[in-house]
Chain A
Amino acid sequence: MFEAVAFYLFAFLTIAMFFITVTTSQALYALTALAAGMIFISAFFFILGADFLGVIQIIVYTGAVMALYAFGMMFFDTTRKVKEKRGNRYIIVGLSTLTAVLIVVIFAAPMVSKNIVALYPVIEDAGNIQLVGVILFTKYLIPFEVAAIMLLVAMVAGIVLAGKKMDISLTLMSSEEIKKEENKKVLS
């Protein structure tokens, strides 16, 4: 019963949060809602017994990713309302719904026929983190290392890309200097 209550509660919260993220015209609201949604998702992981994944979710998304986004948003003018496409609303809704239905069908098909066999079965008396660790460092060692390298590369790339002309600070500059910089920007 507790599980059901928790599931419906968090499901409602997640959907609501993400709905806000997608629909709001204020970038700050969107960011906040996204961060909240991420945390609510980690709740599902905990419910499902994937403790490790839940922890990672909180650390990575609400910690690292959101921090990155927050930094990113500082670059842009977030006070303005975000312009939206003047697209056909029916197409958007139609395509999304169709996709959703199809995915459900695809996932449902093998479920009904019940022909899935566990490759790495969960051992009953071992903790989730322990199990994850064992598999991560045996079967998935190489992908894991590759992912590590990928993250490193992404980090370096992010710094290199964003860090160009980081030595200039707009807050410390006078308004004329900022004008000049802006002209330069336009010219370049």
Chain B
Amino acid sequence: MEIGLNHYLVLSTILFAIGLAGVIKRKNLLLLFFATEILLNSVNIAFAAISHYYGDLTGQMFAFFIIAIAASEVAVGLGLLIVWYKRHGNIDLETMKSMRG
């Protein structure tokens, strides 16, 4: 049984859906970050797969930059998270309401 691009895309979308479910469901900010990592990685799989099946390296390049962005995001995000925790004593989403319009 030949594994085609569609297999990878389906896998990628399943992972994306899992990540999205996590984003909606999670209340703890740290675990929310985990879910976003899953989203990014699912996209990476899709990029790498397309790159492979079309013989074009652009997809890999994008995956590469996405990894870089994910790393930076985690670094800054965790920093902010720690600051928030120090100030409020929790990292609960429900308590973050200072942006109320």
Contacts and interface: CB of A to CB of B under 8 A. Distances in A.
Tell me if chains A and B make direct contact, with any CB pair below 8 A: yes
A173 interface: no
B21 A131 contact: no
Given A64-B71, A84-B27, A99 B57 contact: no
Given A21-B34, A48-B52, A95-B20, A84 B25 contact: yes
Nearest to A157: B76
B43 to A, nearest CB: 10
29 contacts: A7-B7, A15-B18, A18-B15, A22-B25, A44-B8, A44-B45, A53-B64, A61-B70, A72-B78, A73-B30, A75-B82, A83-B27, A83-B92, A84-B25, A92-B25, A93-B21, A99-B17, A99-B20, A100-B13, A103-B16, A104-B10, A107-B9, A107-B13, A120-B56, A150-B68, A153-B72, A154-B71, A161-B76, A164-B83
Contacts of A132: 57, 60-61, 64
Contact of A165 (B16, B71, B76, B86): B86
Q: Which of the four size classes fits the interface of chain A?
A: 35 or more
Interface of B is mostly: helix
Contacts of A160: 79
Contact of A103 (B13, B33, B92): B13
Nearest to A65: B74
Contact of B74 (A68, A119, A136): A68
A111 B6 contact: yes
Contacts, number: 230
Contacts of B35: 21-22
Nearest to B68: A147
A122 to B, nearest CB: 4
The 7 A-B pairs with the shortest beta carbon distances in the complex, nearest first, are: A161-B79, A154-B72, A22-B22, A118-B56, A158-B75, A100-B17, A158-B79
A92 B21 contact: yes
Contacts of A48: 8, 48-49, 51-52
B96 interface: no
Contacts of A38: 37, 41
Contacts of A151: 68, 71-72, 75
Contacts of B73: 154
Contacts of B92: 83
B45 to A, nearest CB: 6
Q: Which of the four size classes fits the interface of chain B?
A: 35 or more
Contacts of A72: 30, 78, 81-82
Interface in B74-96: 74-76, 78-83, 85-87, 89, 91-94
A21 B18 CA distance: 9
Interface in A120-141: 120-122, 131-132, 135-136, 140
